[in-house]
Amino acid sequence: MLIDLLNQSSNGSPGTLWIVDENLAPEQLQAVHPRADLCALTNRFEVGEALAARGLQCTVSDFVFDALPAQQFSRIVYRVSKERAIVHHCINESFRRLIPGGTLHLLGHKDDGIKTNGKNAEQVFRTTARLKKHGTAYSVTLLKPTTENPQWLDSKDYLQLRECSVGEWSFISKPGVFGWNKIDHGSELLAQEARKYLQATSDAGAVLDLGCGYGYLLLVTAELPFSRRVATDNNAAAVLAANANFQQKNLPVTVSLDDCGAHLQERFDVILCNPPFHQGFSTSSALAEKFLLQIRKLLNTNGVALVVVNQFIPIERVAAEYFSNITTLCHSDGFKVVALS
Contact 209, 190 (CB under 8 A): no
Q: What share of the chain is helix, strand, coil (3-state, %, to 5)?
A: 30, 30, 40
Residues 139, 237, single domain; the answer is no
Residues 139, 180, single domain; the answer is no
Task: Look up residue 151 and give its DSSP letter.
Answer: -
What does the pLDDT read at residue 280? 38
Which of 22-36, 244-258, 299-313 shows the lowest mean pLDDT across its residues?
22-36
Q: Which of 116, 143, 170 is the last residue of a domain?
A: 143
Cα 288 to Cα 315: distance, rounded to the nearest angstrom:
8
Residues 134, 209, single domain; the answer is no
Contact 219, 187 (CB under 8 A): no
Q: How many CB atoms lie within 10 A of CB 229?
A: 23
Residues 122, 52, single domain; the answer is yes
- Name the band, by pLDDT with cuts 50, 70 and 90, for residue 87: very high
Residues 9, 108, single domain; the answer is yes
What residues have CB less than 8 Å from 188, skipping those under 6 apart?
A: none
Q: Answer yes or no: is 178 within a domain.
A: yes
Residues 90, 185, single domain; the answer is no
Q: Answer yes or no: is 323 within a domain.
A: yes
Taking Cα atoms as reference points, which of 98, 86, 95 lies closest to residue 125?
A: 95
Residues 167, 76, single domain; the answer is no
Q: Which of 143, 170, 198 is the last residue of a domain?
A: 143
Q: Which of 143, 176, 193 is the last residue of a domain?
A: 143
- Name the band, by pLDDT with cuts 50, 70 and 90, for residue 281: very low
% of the chain surpassing 90 pLDDT: 82
Q: Answer yes or no: is 151 within a domain.
A: no
Residues 250, 200, single domain; the answer is yes
Domain region containing 23: 2-143
Q: Answer yes or no: is 328 within a domain.
A: yes
The average pLDDT across 64-79 equals 93
Q: How many CB atoms lie within 10 A of CB 283?
A: 15
Residues 172, 138, single domain; the answer is no
pLDDT value at 215 more than 60: yes
Q: Answer yes or no: is 208 within a domain.
A: yes
Q: Which residue has the higher pLDDT, 10 or 154?
A: 154
Number of domain units in the chain: 2
Q: What is the CATH number of the domain that holds 307?
A: 3.40.50.150
What does the pLDDT read at residue 285? 66
Residues 172, 131, single domain; the answer is no
Q: Answer yes or no: is 148 within a domain.
A: no
Phi, psi of 305 (to 5 degrees): -110, 130
Gyration radius from the chain CA atoms:
22
Q: Which residue has the higher pLDDT, 59 or 24?
A: 59
* Helix residue ranges per DSSP H, the chain: 2-6, 26-31, 45-53, 84-97, 114-125, 185-198, 216-220, 236-248, 285-298, 315-319
Contact 341, 268 (CB under 8 A): no
Exposed, middle or buried: residue 13 (CB in 10 Å: 0-12, 13-18, 19+)? middle
Amino acid at 189: L
